[in-house]
């Protein structure tokens, strides 16, 4: 489809360019894609596609469905009828719309909610409309907004709760003045309210149906319908259900919901409270109304009835708790105790108010302004006092219960703590049973006249006394086990909630007095320690200055005394006043004594510290020592002063004298300067002490510059100004210089390790290594690589020492390294040649070395190649010093020691060659066995019965007999015996010769010679046997060869086994 010729494409092009603001290049790129052309063709020709959507995301996108992922504007082209779009009807068929992508429905609802509805509900712009038009338009837009919100929620899989339709019916007339009469206006408002109420009711029903329908959805419905859902559908169901429920809850939650709920709750409580108060106050109101109608003289007899009614009112108010009062003994006794205490306080306040009123009347009588109030108070408060006493007894029950409940958490520590804890828990469990028994009674606890409940209270008091007796017994035994007053005080503090009980306090009296004596004894011990240890300053602390240690020791004694006083103060309420004064006076005396000691020691310390600070401030920063070394004078004294100043800084009450105060103000700078000086001096001395003699000229100029700056430090003292800055500046220079020299020396150490490694390197090794290539190729590679590393390290040191400005000194430095390298290579080569020489000594048998080549020129060439490899190793490292010509090999080849070793090796080689030649001559006497032609020799033997000599040209033929064969076989057997006794190895000086291969090969050749003779005899026997079978006469058989019997005996003597076919013929 050609986009440039199709009229339909031109129309869509103009609409798209005008709506989306595209460039023609974007449209051409869009139309060039085949997929977009197919989409346009489908929309034009298929009537089922009613809409075409175009948007920018980021380029131009086209789709037959609404794009859900885009957020930009979407151009919607819709067909007006189900017909094919052609070039003729495209302008009539297409309907163009523009919507916001990704939220079209949200856009509609937002426009309705935030624009249209507020405009329609505003009386000012809608006042010029015809009557009812604005209201109808508002209702329409409200319904459209609800429908859009419902549709948006359905798109997202959620449930929307719509608002009532009549919510805005009355909104247009809320602030408008009506021309009609007031009665018509009121009726109209009532009708609108009824419509709104009906709409709200209908909306609530609709909400209930929507929520109920959603909650009835079941995840297993697909399975019940016969489908086969995947597990992911179950996960999606519950995930969407959770989101929808949260959405419904968010809609249901209103900012006023909690307020309405609180209002409803408060109304219910207020209603119940008003009903209770009204019912309880009716009789009091009746009594008061009766009093108001009485004469003044009649009030005297009826006032008690009013107060009694008030007492009954409190009683009835207290009875609102019902039978739950005593159940508070088991759960929440503290809350019930608060309620009972509140009632008791209220009744006591009522009585006190009455008494105060009576007193005021008496005061008024004295002034003559009123009559006296002389009737007895018990007439008014008789029943009230009984009720109040009854409540106080109940209050005491709860108070005791709360106190003894603390036994549940009591845990006694120490050696016997577990036993005492178990006994306390047994007492507590018995008390809980008594409390449970009291709480389960069915009596009315608020009736003061109930004798049964009073008996229960008396019985409970006796049970509590028994529990206290058992508990104090355990406590007394536990106190006897306490070895120190602190542990006894801790035990008493643990049970302090019950020590005020009279029974317990009386029985604990002896133990309390013993504890008091323990406190006094502890104070005496502190005083004795003070008098015996105050002069032993060295025993206080070995890491703290003696004055500071003495002050710290006195502070510890003071804290120990105050701790004793604190323990006693926690139990002070258990003692009488006279006993309390003893401990307090002793503590006060100790504190005064320790304070005097502290003041004297502190004064002496401040005086001595000021004197030491003056001495330190007069000392120079550094001083010259022997051999040019540096040192910090009085370093120990300065450290001691700084340590004392640090100790002084911990006590804010100390006032220093001027010199000490000045040093204290700058102690941080002095400390840092002292540390920097120590490090700087150490680095400087290390540069001077360590290092080689040839290194000193390279650093001499820098040392002279540093000495000039150090002279200024020697003229400065610790009291001078600007010390810190000067030390820091010079310290940085010295540290940098030390770092440079240390790096150069580290490089020299690395070079030394390389050179030492060469001196210990073995170029030649024992075993099979030598004939396979001489000196090790790996050793050569190592020497080459390490030689390059030596050259690199010397270049690095040249830059570190800045040796370009001192050529003579640097040349001496390189000469030193070059000499060490040459010595190391000499040792390496000497070791290799010594190894060769030692390996060629007659004692080589122990090493087991084997040389396989011939003893001719090959062995000489091989050893010469070994020596050449050893010498060539010296040519591998580059020359360090430029003042020498040639490599190290040229110099070392002229070394006398190496030349002597080389000559010794060749001499020993010549000696071995001579011995090998003698051995070869000895073995050549067997050469005829492998050099002679066996077939020719056999033919000569069969002709002449012996082997002819070289001078015998012609000899008479004489066929061999059995004796001749026997002679030859015996000769071969003798050779076998002789060769079998030959040694497997023969040692020729340092050379070991393997003879076993020669022996084995020669024995094999001899066996072949013997087989040649025996085979001829076997052939003769076989021929004779064949002739015997063909001719029976003995003559013919005997004339054909050797005698069979003698031949067989000879073969048997030679150890030859007859073949099977010959053995078969002999048996026949």
pLDDT tens sequence across 66-80: 776 676 778 888 887
Higher pLDDT, 510 or 740: 740
Instruction: Give the pLDDT of residue 366.
Output: 62
HEC readout, 828-842: HHHHHHHHHHHHCCH
Mean pLDDT of 120-136: 59
In a shared domain, residues 493 and 514? no
- Residue 102 region, left (φ>0) first, then alpha (ψ -120 to 50), else beta? left
Residue with tokens 């719509």: 162
Any domain includes 430: yes
Instruction: Give the pLDDT of residue 428.
Output: 74
Mean residue pLDDT of the chain comes to: 73
Instruction: Give the pLDDT of residue 770.
Output: 46
In a shared domain, residues 966 and 912? no
Which stretches within 440-572 are classed as H helix? 451-481, 485-494, 502-507, 509-533, 546-570
Asked whether 829 and 896 are in contact (CB, 8 A), the reply is no
Of all residues in the chain, what percent carry a pLDDT higher than 90? 0
Higher pLDDT, 179 or 981: 981
In a shared domain, residues 501 and 516? no
Burial pattern 891-907, b for ≥16 Cβ within 10 A else e, equals: bbeeeeebeebbebbee
Instruction: Give the pLDDT of residue 273.
Output: 61
Instruction: Give the pLDDT of residue 157.
Output: 66
Residues 875 and 230: their CA atoms lie apart, in Å, by 82
Instruction: Give the pLDDT of residue 577.
Output: 62
Higher pLDDT, 562 or 325: 562
Higher pLDDT, 306 or 574: 574
Give the pLDDT band of residue 361 (cuts 50, 70, 90).
low
Residue with tokens 């209002």: 263
Of 841, 832, 837, 838, the closest CA to residue 776 belongs to: 832
Name the 3-class secondary structure at 76. Answer: strand
Which residues have C-beta within 8 Å of that of residue 608, sequence separation ≥ 6?
547
Mean pLDDT of 448-457: 75
Instruction: Give the pLDDT of residue 769.
Output: 44
Instruction: Give the pLDDT of residue 755.
Output: 83
Report whether pLDDT(202) > 50. yes
Residues 871 and 893: their CA atoms lie apart, in Å, by 7
Which stretches within 840-931 are classed as H helix? 857-872, 888-892, 896-923, 927-931
pLDDT tens sequence across 853-881: 444 445 666 666 666 666 666 666 766 66
Partners of residue 623 on adjacent β-strands: 631
Which residues have C-beta within 8 Å of that of residue 150, sequence separation ≥ 6?
160, 162
Q: In what order do the strands lie in the sheet with 94-100?
A: 60-63, 51-56, 73-79, 94-100
Which of these three, 922, 950, 976, is where a domain ends?
Answer: 922
Any domain includes 524: yes
Report whether pLDDT(564) > 80. yes
Any domain includes 281: no
Identity of the highest mean pLDDT range in 338-352, 629-643, 726-740? 726-740
Which stretches within 722-856 are classed as H helix? 723-759, 777-801, 807-839
In a shared domain, residues 444 and 586? no
pLDDT tens sequence across 237-272: 777 777 777 777 777 666 656 665 666 676 567 666
Of 303, 282, 281, 308, the closest CA to residue 292 belongs to: 303
Residues 420 and 426: their CA atoms lie apart, in Å, by 10
Any domain includes 644: no
In a shared domain, residues 74 and 163? yes
HSE, side-chain direction, 13 A CA sphere, residue 465? 9
Instruction: Give the pLDDT of residue 534.
Output: 80
Which residues have C-beta within 8 Å of that of residue 498, sequence separation ≥ 6?
403, 404, 468, 471, 504
In a shared domain, residues 533 and 478? no
Which of 294-303, 401-410, 659-668, 780-789 has the lowest average pLDDT?
294-303
pLDDT tens sequence across 26-46: 888 888 888 888 888 888 888
Mean pLDDT of 764-770: 51
Mean pLDDT of 286-300: 63
Name the 3-class secondary structure at 94. Answer: strand
C-alpha 755: how far from chain center: 47
Identity of the highest mean pLDDT range in 731-740, 961-970, 1057-1066? 731-740
pLDDT tens sequence across 903-932: 677 777 777 777 777 777 777 777 777 877
Name the 3-class secondary structure at 977. Answer: helix
Which of 117-131, 135-149, 699-713, 798-812 has the lowest average pLDDT?
117-131
If one counts the domains in the chain, the total is 5
HEC readout, 678-723: HHHHHHHHHHHHCCCCCCHHHHHHHHHHHHHHHHHHHHCECCCCCH
| C-alpha to C-alpha distances, 827 to 488, 756, 759, 777, 895, nearest whole angstrom | 85, 10, 5, 19, 11
Asked whether 784 and 877 are in contact (CB, 8 A), the reply is yes
Instruction: Give the pLDDT of residue 307.
Output: 53
Which of 198-212, 341-355, 630-644, 759-773 has the lowest average pLDDT?
759-773
Instruction: Give the pLDDT of residue 325.
Output: 44
Instruction: Give the pLDDT of residue 773.
Output: 46
Domain with 989, as residue range(s), is 959-1067
Any domain includes 225: no
Any domain includes 543: yes
In a shared domain, residues 769 and 817? yes
Residues 650 and 512: their CA atoms lie apart, in Å, by 40
Name the 3-class secondary structure at 37. Answer: helix
Which of 315-324, 388-397, 715-724, 1040-1049 has the lowest average pLDDT?
315-324
Which stretches within 253-377 are classed as H helix? 257-293, 299-318, 333-366
Q: How many CB atoms lie within 10 A of CB 519?
A: 22
Any domain includes 650: no
Which of these three, 873, 901, 922, is where a domain ends?
Answer: 922
Which of these three, 625, 656, 677, is where a domain ends?
Answer: 625
Instruction: Give the pLDDT of residue 189.
Output: 66
Residues 1018 and 1049: their CA atoms lie apart, in Å, by 12
Residues 874 and 868: their CA atoms lie apart, in Å, by 10
Name the 3-class secondary structure at 3. Answer: coil
In a shared domain, residues 524 and 611? yes
Instruction: Give the pLDDT of residue 358.
Output: 65
In a shared domain, residues 537 and 498? no
Report whether pLDDT(426) > 70. yes
Instruction: Give the pLDDT of residue 668.
Output: 79
pLDDT tens sequence across 1009-1064: 888 888 888 888 788 877 777 664 444 444 446 777 787 777 777 777 777 777 77
Residue with tokens 């490599």: 887
Verify cis geometry, omega within 30 degrees of 0, for the bond prior to 58.
yes
Asked whether 845 and 838 are in contact (CB, 8 A), the reply is no
Instruction: Give the pLDDT of residue 117.
Output: 63
Instruction: Give the pLDDT of residue 1040.
Output: 47
In a shared domain, residues 493 and 558? no
Instruction: Give the pLDDT of residue 716.
Output: 82
Of 8, 17, 16, the closest CA to residue 40 belongs to: 8
Report whether pLDDT(225) > 70. yes
Residue with tokens 């219910």: 268
In a shared domain, residues 498 and 513? no
- Residue 1055 region, left (φ>0) first, then alpha (ψ -120 to 50), else beta? left
Report whether pLDDT(311) > 60. no
In a shared domain, residues 17 and 156? yes
pLDDT tens sequence across 537-561: 556 666 778 788 888 888 889 898 8
Report whether pLDDT(115) > 80. no
Tokens of 283: 């009789």
N residues, the chain? 1068
Residues 312 and 299: their CA atoms lie apart, in Å, by 20
Higher pLDDT, 334 or 445: 445
Any domain includes 235: no
The one-character DSSP state at 59 is: S
């Amino acid at each position: 489809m050609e986009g440039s010729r199709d009229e339909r494409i031109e129309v869509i092009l103009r609409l798209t360019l005008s709506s989306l603001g595209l460039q023609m290049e974007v449209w051409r790129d869009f139309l060039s894609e085949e997929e977009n052309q197919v989409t346009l063709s489908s929309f034009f020709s298929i009537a089922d596609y009613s809409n075409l959507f175009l948007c920018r995301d980021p380029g131009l996108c086209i789709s037959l469905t609404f794009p859900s992922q885009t957020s930009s504007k979407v151009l919607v082209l819709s067909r007006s009828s189900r017909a094919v779009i052609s070039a003729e009807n495209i302008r009539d068929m297409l309907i163009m719309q523009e919507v916001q992508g990704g939220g079209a429905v949200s856009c509609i609802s937002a426009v309705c909610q935030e624009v249209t509805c507020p405009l329609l509900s505003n009386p000012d712009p809608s006042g010029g409309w015809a009557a009812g038009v604005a209201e109808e338009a508002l209702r329409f837009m409200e319904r459209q907004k609800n429908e859009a919100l419902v549709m948006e929620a359905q798109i997202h899989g959620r449930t929307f709760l719509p608002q009532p339709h009549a919510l805005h019916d009355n909104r247009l007339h809320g602030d408008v003045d009506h021309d009609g009469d007031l009665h018509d206006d009121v009726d109209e408002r009532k009708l609108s309210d009824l419509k709104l109420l009906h709409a709200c009711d209908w909306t609530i029903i609709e909400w209930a149906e929507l929520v109920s329908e959603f909650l009835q959805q079941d995840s297993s419905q697909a399975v019940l319908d016969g489908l086969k859902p995947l597990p992911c559908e179950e996960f999606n169901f519950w995930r969407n259900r959770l989101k929808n429920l949260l959405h419904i809850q968010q809609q249901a939650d209103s900012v006023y919901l909690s307020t309405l709920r609180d209002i409803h709750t408060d109304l219910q409580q207020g209603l119940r409270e008003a009903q209770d108060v009204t019912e309880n106050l009716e009789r009091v109101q009746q009594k008061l109304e009766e009093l108001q109608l009485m004469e003044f003289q009649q009030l005297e007899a009826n006032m008690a009835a009013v107060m009694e009614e008030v007492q009954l009112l409190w009683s009835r108010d207290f009875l609102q708790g019902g039978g739950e009062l005593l159940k508070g003994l088991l759960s929440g006794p503290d809350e019930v105790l608060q309620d009972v205490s509140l009632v008791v306080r209220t009744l006591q306040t009522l009585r006190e108010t009455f008494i105060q009123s009576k007193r005021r009347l008496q005061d008024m009588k004295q002034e003559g302004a009123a009559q006296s109030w002389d009737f007895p108070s018990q007439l008014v408060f008789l029943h009230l006092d009984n009720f109040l006493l009854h409540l106080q007894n109940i209050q005491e029950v709860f108070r005791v219960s709360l106190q003894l409940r603390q036994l549940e958490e009591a845990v006694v520590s120490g050696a016997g703590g577990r036993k005492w804890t178990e006994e306390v828990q047994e007492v507590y469990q018995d008390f809980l049973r008594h409390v449970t028994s009291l709480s389960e009674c069915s009596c009315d606890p608020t009736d003061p006249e109930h004798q049964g409940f009073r008996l229960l209270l008396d019985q409970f008091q006796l049970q509590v006394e028994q529990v206290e007796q058992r508990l104090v017994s355990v406590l007394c035994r536990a106190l006897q086990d306490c070895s120190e007053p602190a542990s006894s005080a801790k035990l008493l503090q643990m049970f302090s909630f019950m020590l005020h009980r009279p029974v317990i306090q009386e029985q604990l009296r002896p133990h309390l007095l013993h504890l008091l004596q323990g406190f006094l004894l502890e104070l005496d011990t502190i005083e004795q320690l003070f008098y015996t240890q105050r002069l032993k300053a060295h025993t206080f602390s070995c890491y703290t200055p003696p004055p500071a240690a003495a002050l710290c020791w006195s502070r510890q004694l003071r804290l120990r005394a105050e701790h004793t006083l604190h323990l006693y103060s926690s139990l002070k309420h258990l003692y009488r006043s006279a006993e309390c004064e003893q401990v307090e006076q002793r503590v006060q005396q100790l504190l005064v004594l320790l304070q005097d000691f502290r003041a004297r020691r502190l004064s002496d310390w401040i005086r001595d510290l000021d004197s030491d600070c003056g001495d330190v401030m007069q000392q120079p920063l550094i001083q010259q020592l022997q051999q040019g070394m540096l040192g910090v004078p009085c370093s120990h004294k300065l450290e001691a002063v700084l340590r004392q100043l640090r100790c002084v800084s911990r006590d804010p009450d100390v006032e220093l004298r001027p010199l000490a105060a000045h040093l204290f103000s700058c102690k941080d700078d002095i400390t840092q300067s002292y540390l920097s000086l120590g490090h700087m001096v150490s680095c400087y001395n290390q540069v001077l002490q360590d290092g080689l003699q040839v290194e000193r000229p390279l650093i001499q100029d820098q040392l002279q510059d540093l000495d000039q700056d150090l002279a200024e430090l020697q003229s400065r003292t610790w009291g001078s100004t600007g010390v810190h800055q000067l030390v820091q500046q010079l310290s940085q220079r010295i540290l940098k210089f030390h770092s440079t020299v240390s790096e150069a020396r580290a490089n020299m150490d690395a070079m030394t390790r390389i050179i030492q490694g060469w001196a210990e390197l073995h170029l030649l090794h024992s075993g099979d290594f030598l004939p396979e290539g001489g000196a090790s190729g790996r050793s050569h590679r190592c020497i080459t690589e390490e030689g390059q590393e030596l050259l690199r390290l010397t270049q690095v040191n040249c830059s570190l020492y800045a040796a370009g400005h001192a050529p003579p000194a640097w040349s001496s430095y390189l000469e030193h390294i070059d000499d060490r390298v040459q010595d190391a290579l000499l040792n390496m080569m000497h070791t290799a040649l010594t190894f060769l020489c030692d390996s060629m000594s007659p004692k080589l048998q122990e090493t087991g070395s084997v040389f396989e080549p011939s003893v001719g020129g090959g062995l000489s060439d091989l050893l010469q190649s070994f020596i050449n490899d050893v010498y060539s190793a010296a040519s591998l490292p580059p020359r360090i010093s430029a003042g020498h010509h040639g490599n190290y090999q040229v110099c070392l080849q002229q070394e006398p020691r190496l030349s002597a070793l080389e000559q010794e090796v060749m001499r020993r080689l010549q000696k071995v060659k001579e011995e090998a030649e003698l051995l070869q001559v000895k073995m050549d006497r067997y050469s005829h066995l492998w050099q002679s032609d066996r077939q020719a020799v056999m033919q000569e033997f069969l002709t002449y019965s012996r082997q002819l000599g070289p001078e015998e040209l012609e000899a008479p033929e004489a066929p061999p007999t059995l004796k001749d064969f026997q002679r030859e076989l015996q000769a071969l057997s003798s050779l076998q015996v002789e060769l079998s006794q030959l040694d497997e190895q023969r040692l020729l000086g340092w050379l070991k010769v393997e003879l076993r291969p020669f022996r084995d090969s020669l024995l094999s050749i001899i066996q072949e010679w013997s087989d040649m003779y025996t085979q001829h005899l076997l052939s003769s026997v076989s021929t004779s046997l064949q002739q015997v079978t063909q001719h029976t006469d003995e003559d013919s058989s005997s004339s054909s060869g050797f005698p069979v019997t003698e031949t067989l005996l000879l073969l048997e003597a030679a150890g030859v086994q007859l073949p099977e076919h010959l053995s078969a013929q002999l048996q026949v």
